[in-house]
Chain A
Amino acid sequence: MESGYVSPAEEALGAAIGRSSVEQRIAAATGLRQSSDEPTAQVDVVRLDGGKVRVEYGEVGHE
């Protein structure tokens, strides 16, 4: 129906992924992080920055 048409959301998302990848490549190249090939474990990641709730953590055990 719209083959070949890149919508504004697709264009914006593609650009954001590209920027993110560039940042990761720079970080790896400057030795800030080691890179790994494939995940060796099943990892579920939850990103709470900007999510439904903000969890503040006080000093652990120093309550």
Chain B
Amino acid sequence: MSEHPVVSVSTPADLASAVPYLVGYRPSEEQFVVAGLAGGTVAVMACASWEPSFDDVDGDWSRTALKGGVVYITDAMEPAEPDSYIVLGYGPQARDRALLVGGQIEELTGQHVWQISVEPDGVVARFEPQDMDWSTYPMVPDKVEAELVYMGIPAPTQTRDEMLERFTPYPEPTWEPLPLAEQLRVEESLPSARAAEAVQTLADLKEHGAGDDPLAPGRLAHLMRSSKDVRDAVLVAGIEQVSGATLLELYRGAPAEYRDVTGNVASVAMYIEEGKNIGAAEIVSHVSRDGDQGALADMMASAVDGGLPPRVLRETLTYDPAQSLHTADSRFLVERTQRALSQAQHSLARPAPNQVAQPDLGPKAPVQRGPGVGL
């Protein structure tokens, strides 16, 4: 992890400033956030809705619904192996909710939990158990935000719904499918050659956009759709080159027939780069499960739901695709040869053109036979 830029957060107020950038949107007053720390680093974060049932109190003063919610959250965070937690409550009931959630987490995990409230007037407070009181911290505007923006973290949206829009297809495609002649050229080339062309096209799109080559998005998408091995090669390259933003744009602007393959690749890249289940899950929800791309979409949905760490996904998809492309080339040549043989056999089996029944052309003139011609 040391290759990644580091942001140091040292106060509850700084953490409260950083949360919207890390989550991607500003938590509402009906949400709360749980951060899981591992070795002094924020390893995982969950932003959850406060359900009305969380306020229900049983006869023995327990809160079954809240406990169920907290179990779900800590289970989802478990793969990151947190050794302590921070709970942030929001809005007028921030303090009560932070204490309630924090208490449940402490009971369930046995780990230490800090409780922080982010209040409507901008006050950030932390609960001090030894004093049984809250100490407040001043917000320092723009300190952490500036660092995160400098590191390329997108500014948060105001709401969760606005953030979801970042991962939905545009109302109209922003690029055209490849012309038919080009499609045929692609499909007649070896998978290894297609992969090389696709990886180069991705690199060019990331570097220059589609301005210089308007056919580039259509070409990349058609190359990927033509073979799973080509798609995988783009996936591997996209992860290595951190091309998530380019792949996301390709998917969002895709004509319907290219949405599945571009969505699959974008979901993997975005999950690895941003680590958010919300984005990957939204993208995958737009991928059909019926076609060739259904298997990868199902797997991505399982990986995201099951909390597969992006680090593990990155390691899994970091390999040299040369061997599989070599095998794909051989398979392609065999299939093409078989197809050619089949076509040849088919044409031999057909009646010759002069044996085909002739149309009725009306009364025929008597056949004139030359001398010496016998029947």
Contacts and interface: CB of A to CB of B under 8 A. Distances in A.
Contacts of A20: 79, 303, 306-308, 312
Interface in A1-31: 1-3, 5-10, 12-17, 20-21, 23-24, 27
Given A13-B296, A56-B41, A46 B276 contact: yes
B77 A56 contact: no
A60 B232 CA distance: 43
B339 interface: no
B12 interface: yes
B40 interface: yes
A40 B72 contact: yes
Contacts of A17: 299, 302-303, 306, 308
Contact of B153 (A13, A16, A53): A53
Contact of A45 (B135, B292, B307): B307
A34 B4 CA distance: 33
A24 B153 CA distance: 31
Interface residues of B, number: 95
A40 to B, nearest CB: 5
B278 A44 contact: yes
B137 interface: yes
Given A12-B316, A20-B308, A40-B69, A46 B4 contact: no
B43 A63 contact: no
Contacts, number: 235
Interface residues of A, number: 48
Given A36-B71, A61-B135, A46 B316 contact: no
A13 B299 contact: yes
Given A16-B303, A42-B48, A36 B308 contact: no
Given A53-B7, A60-B126, A63-B11, A8 B75 contact: no
B292 A51 contact: no
B43 A47 contact: yes
A44 to B, nearest CB: 4
A6 B47 CA distance: 35
A12 B68 CA distance: 33
Contact of B277 (A1, A21, A44): A44
Interface in B298-315: 299-300, 302-303, 306-314
Interface of A: 1-3, 5-10, 12-17, 20-21, 23-24, 27, 33-36, 39-61, 63
Interface of B: 1-2, 4-12, 15, 18, 22-24, 35, 37-38, 40-51, 53-54, 65, 68-69, 71-80, 86, 108, 114, 116, 126, 128, 135, 137, 148, 151-153, 160, 226-229, 231-232, 235-236, 272-278, 292, 295-296, 299-300, 302-303, 306-314, 316-317, 319, 321, 324
